[in-house]
Amino acid sequence: MEENLCVLNYVDQLRNLSSRYIQVEIEIVPNIFKWCEEKGVSEDHPFRIAKALKNLENGRYLILINQYLTSENISSVLTGIEHSNYFSIDQIKKITDQKIFLIHLLLHEISHVLDETRTEEQCDHWALNQIETNQLTLD
């Protein structure tokens, strides 16, 4: 696995992909925890790599994604998914590719936006289903 994936290289494709599902702003930031701290947004997880937020004043959504995804970031998320036992090994293998992982990450956050009551597991399943059903990739 490559060391870092620069998300800025895919931001236009991510915006196009997100527009298939919902109107949402995507912002690529160096560090989500620091961004939240600077903006006065509650965030307990210093290593979060994506986050969906709702502007309570206008009802619009914003999805934040870290500028760089490292192999450690990705491995940590995949290990969490694997230990939760709600994905098969074959399903996990489908999202180990960095670009497919990035799509899954975005779709997971979109799933939260589409239905704020969905659990993490439900968002992961929805995202994987979208990837498989629509054969989603990034160039």
Hunting for tokens 């290289």 — which residue is that? 9
Q: What is the pLDDT of residue 2?
A: 59
Q: What is the pLDDT of residue 127?
A: 96
Q: Can you tell me the distance from the alpha carbon of 22 to that of 33, in angstroms, rounded to the nearest whole number?
A: 25
Fill in the DSSP letter of residue 77: H
Beta strand pairing status for 25-29 and 61-66? parallel
Q: Where are the domains of the chain?
A: 4-134
How many CA atoms lie within 13 Å of 135's alpha carbon, on the beta-carbon side?
0
pLDDT per residue as tens, the chain (139 positions): 457 999 999 999 999 999 999 999 999 999 999 999 999 999 999 999 999 999 888 989 999 999 999 999 999 999 888 888 788 888 888 899 999 999 999 999 999 999 999 999 999 999 999 999 999 999 9
Q: Can you tell me the distance from the alpha carbon of 125 to that of 108, in angstroms, rounded to the nearest whole number?
A: 8
User: What is the phi-psi region of residue 85: left when phi exceeds 0, alpha when psi lies from -120 to 50, beta otherwise?
Assistant: left
Beta strand pairing status for 68-70 and 61-66? unpaired
